Amino acid sequence: MGLPRLGGQGGNGGDVWVVAAKNMTLKKIKDKYPQKRFVGGSGGNSSVRALKGEKGADMEVLAPVGIAVTTDSGRILGDLNEEGDRVLVAKGGSGGSLHSAFEPTKGQAKHIRLDLKLIADLGLVGFPNAGKSSLLTALSNATPQIASYAFTTLRPEIGKVMYPDYKQISVADLPGLIEGAYMNKGMGHKFLKHVERTKQLLFVVDVCGFQLASKTPFRSAFEAVQLLTKELELYKEEVASKPALLVVNKMDLPDAEDKLAELKEQLNNPEEFSDLLPGDMIPKNYLTFRHVVPVSAMTGLGIDHLKSCIRQSLDEEDALESRDVLQEKLQALRLRSQ
């Protein structure tokens, strides 16, 4: 409250912040705050001794790094990418003053969601037998650094690809990402959200195709690519529009070269081969891959070339982003000077 007779101003209410902290997990937040309710402190009344009332204490909700803070409707309030990052989620009300007849106003009240997503440069996308794990091992010198992320149901592997100039690129293998999702096994969508926090996608397919189980149909490499694309589209179309590279694995198998030639032809004219796919599995947009790289994770064939393609693709993306940021700044300066 304000103090009318002396024109004293009441203290503002405390704000609610979400703050990225080390060694924090979503489970710890749940355990600590079973009510899931966070309230900023009340501001102090104006008094003869203190005409300006004290501000209420802020409430800080500690959360893991790698969180997107959104409203219930999905609007993003902010991202916590590094330790110490802060997002203001609800502002405290204003203290009573002359303008409000010395009555305080209520603070904001919001429902928010905390979504934990992986942060890596590249996300590996593929079916179970495509050889994602062995590819990750081959890319990261056979010793993937396994990051202990704050998941309870999933342990993603993060491999670091090292370059001679000491540049490091992180690659995430997400077990269970899409496996069986298109058959409505319910695994995929739970984990697809982690793909959103990777800059680019690395599709991995077996050059000879695959069969998930004896009861499921055999799928060629071309069909596998389209099924994966469709799965991403079904989750969120913008995920399927990320820059992507295609790794054609198991090139040490017999007939691999012929199969690769066939796949390349199909990828160049996907519409002509769409009749190979069931109607509900045809993607809205066929992906255009920045690079199609044949490799054998087993023998090491093509791995160095793949590393340089990954580097090139990410460097190009960074250059484009820098250019866009620069243009935005120049545009803002022009507007200011008008």
Between 229 and 191, name the one with better pLDDT.
229
Alpha-helical runs (H) found in the chain: 26-32, 132-139, 188-192, 221-235, 237-240, 256-268, 303-337
Number of domains in the chain: 2
pLDDT in tens, 206-263: 999 987 777 778 889 999 999 888 888 877 777 788 899 999 999 999 999 999 999 9
Give yes or no for residue 330 having a pLDDT over 60. yes
Print the domain residue range for 47.
4-116
* CA angle centred on 198, ends 193 and 202, rounded to 5°: 105
pLDDT in tens, 123-135: 888 877 778 888 8
267 in a structural domain: yes
| Last residue within a domain, chosen from 51, 86, 116 | 116
81/219 same-domain check: no
pLDDT in tens, 152-183: 334 567 888 999 999 999 988 865 444 445 44
| Last residue within a domain, chosen from 83, 116, 149 | 116
128/112 same-domain check: no
230/131 same-domain check: yes
pLDDT in tens, 105-160: 999 999 999 887 766 899 888 877 778 888 888 888 645 444 444 333 345 678 88
52/167 same-domain check: no
| Last residue within a domain, chosen from 80, 97, 116 | 116
Q: Give the closest residue to 43 by CA, choosing from 100, 111, 83.
A: 100
31/69 same-domain check: yes
185 in a structural domain: yes
Give the CATH number, domain containing residue 53. 2.70.210.12
336 in a structural domain: no
Q: What is the mean pLDDT of residues 266-270?
A: 93
Sheet holding 86-90, edge to edge: 59-63, 16-20, 86-90
Between 278 and 41, name the one with better pLDDT.
41
Q: Which residues contact 167 (CB under 8 A, 6 or more apart)?
A: 311
pLDDT confidence of residue 78: 93
Burial class (CB in 10 A: 0-12, 13-18, 19+), 14: buried
293/165 same-domain check: yes
pLDDT in tens, 6-41: 999 999 999 999 999 988 877 888 888 888 899 999
138/26 same-domain check: no
* pTM, rounded to two decimals: 0.67
331 in a structural domain: no
Q: Is the torsion defined by CA of 257, 258, 261, 267 positive or negative? A: negative
